[in-house]
Structure 1
Amino acid sequence: MKSLETASPFLSSPSNTRQAANARRIFIVDDHPVTRAGISALLTQQGGYVVCGESESAPKAIELIPKLSPELAIIDISLKTTSGIELIKNLHSLAPDLKVLVLSMHDENLYAERALRAGARGYVMKDQAHETLITAVRRVLEGDLYLSEKMKERMLHRFVSNKSDELTFSIDSLSDREIEVLGHIGNGYSTRQIAAKLNLSVKTIDSYREHLKIKLRLAKGADLVRHAIQWVKSECLV
């Protein structure tokens, strides 16, 4: 299938020029072409939105977004070269006025707060209804935050019970980069391969592995690998 890392052909059609002029411009970042096509079709069918560009990777998104000037970027957590969380952080510095909505298969209980801290304005899981995505897009473009009712209740409970600052030896205690390294370990990558993927030194990845063992209360490297594999399977991080 031909790559969609380009400006959307929707804008190039003469019959759509007038509609595009007043439409809200949206950029999609997802490494699955079928998913990008589905999101694009859903948005354009609603009217009032135009997908001005799409990308399967973070580097291409960073290249295209400043050129295409979208109002909103819809970003997945899992991308081929880096995590969506890191991309959101980079975009927050590169294009501070850009609004970001995360659309992901990964559990909002783990990633929603991380995404918001990185600069996103909302989080939607892919298994939710199409109407939920449209509602989230509208809310975020209006300047509001969007989270599911379940996630809002969870965050409110943590705030009220004052547990948000407690150190816990669980996945919740890991930094965004540690989560990324853990996922790569669970997917079978060696320390050297992870270093190459993240453009970091082998020594730095070794340090992350040690931090992970301490935070997850694991004694050996083999225990970390087993834990990472089980976590990847449970989160479907493939």
Structure 2
Amino acid sequence: MNSGLTYGNDAAKRILIADDHEIVRSGLRAIVEARPNWTVCGEATNGEQALALALKTPPDIVIVDYSMPLMNGLEVCRRLNSANLNTQVLILTMHESEELLSEVIMAGVRGFLFKSDARKHLTSAIEALLEGRPYFTSALLEKLLHNYQSNKQNRSDELLTSREESVVQLIAEGHTNRSISGILKLSVKTVETHRSAAMRKLGMSSTAQLVRYAIRKKLVAP
């Protein structure tokens, strides 16, 4: 391990490594200690030990395997967050699943990396966390983007103004643009503008689609 700790902005950064496989800890230690201002302040072979060491002398970074005996890495992260320590957690895993990625997001994890990416990305991940920036494996970022796009599409109707929704409802009820203009006290041109805006926002191109949308959203009875 590195020695000769300094203080101030150049103070050595203390990093705790937790993994139940010695060969993995050895590899992580080698990467960490390649940096002169980083030091491995301890190693743990299970989640409870990792938590105890981190609570006793809080490190700057805890690198913890998700699949740890006694207490998994996600629970270690939750416990450290609840302790309000100035410690960042980087979770490593060799598994990819929808459930795991969702758990990571919900737990507020700010650092997440696949073990297969560790040799290439571990240093960058640690640097990001030390600077207060999150660092996620590309697969997690892709999931976040996919979820955002899906949620945006699913909630596209929320982008409609109340006036646009009223126009859609009346269209679904069989009213013409002129009839709608009389009901809403708008010009025919304004009705057409609201109709076009609603169709554009909903990604629709026909009156039949608007009718199906209105039925689905219970704006009109089927």
Structure 2 counterpart of 1:17, which letter? G
Structure 2 counterpart of 1:32, which letter? H
Structure possessing the higher radius of gyration over alpha carbons: 2
Which of residues 150, 155, 158 in structure 1 aligns to 2:144? 155
Runs of 4 or more off by more than 6 Å in structure 1?
Answer: none
Which of residues 38, 50, 58 in structure 2 aligns to 1:49? 38
Task: Provide the secondary structure at the position in 1 that maps to 2:117.
Answer: coil
Distance change >3 Å, CA 89–CA 18, structure 1 → 2: closer
Distance change >3 Å, CA 53–CA 95, structure 1 → 2: farther
Structure 1 counterpart of 2:93, which letter? S
Deviation string, structure 1 residues 137-164 (Cα, Å, up to 9, x no partner): 1111111111133421321121122189
Mapped partners of 1:59, 1:120: distance in 2: 18
Mapped partners of 1:132, 1:108: distance in 2: 20
Task: Specify the alignment match of 2:62 in structure 1.
Answer: 73
Task: Please show how residues 5-154 of structure 1 align to structure 2 within 5 Å.
Answer: 10=1, 16-18=3-5, 22-107=11-96, 109-128=98-117, 130-154=119-143
| Uncovered stretches (5+) of structure 2, i.e. residues with no partner | 155-222
The count of corresponding residues between Structure 1 and Structure 2 is: 153
Deviation string, structure 1 residues 101-148 (Cα, Å, up to 9, x no partner): 111111164423422422321111011251211111111111111113
Preserved contact between residue 28 and residue 75 of structure 1 (Cα < 8 Å): yes
Mapped partners of 1:31, 1:107: distance in 2: 19
Mapped partners of 1:18, 1:98: distance in 2: 18
Preserved contact between residue 74 and residue 101 of structure 1 (Cα < 8 Å): yes
Mapped partners of 2:108, 2:151: distance in 1: 23
Mapped partners of 2:127, 2:83: distance in 1: 23
Mapped partners of 1:164, 1:54: distance in 2: 46
Could you state the TM-score of these two structures normalised by the residue count of structure 2? Answer: 0.61
Task: Specify the alignment match of 1:197 in structure 2.
Answer: none
Task: Provide the secondary structure at the position in 2 that maps to 1:17.
Answer: coil
Preserved contact between residue 114 and residue 137 of structure 2 (Cα < 8 Å): no
Query: What is the identity percentage for the equivalent residue pairs of Structure 1 and Structure 2?
Result: 32
Mapped partners of 1:83, 1:18: distance in 2: 31
Distance change >3 Å, CA 96–CA 119, structure 1 → 2: farther
RMSD across aligned positions (CA): 2.6
| Uncovered stretches (5+) of structure 1, i.e. residues with no partner | 1-9, 166-238
Task: Specify the alignment match of 2:186 in structure 1.
Answer: none
Task: Provide the secondary structure at the position in 2 that maps to 1:100.
Answer: strand
Structure 1 counterpart of 2:37, which letter? G
Mapped partners of 2:114, 2:18: distance in 1: 15
Task: Specify the alignment match of 2:215 in structure 1.
Answer: none
- Shift in Å, 1:34: 1.5
Preserved contact between residue 108 and residue 151 of structure 1 (Cα < 8 Å): no
Deviation string, structure 1 residues 52-87 (Cα, Å, up to 9, x no partner): 111011221222112222011111111111222122
Could you state the TM-score of these two structures normalised by the residue count of structure 1? Answer: 0.57
Structure 2 counterpart of 1:88, which letter? C
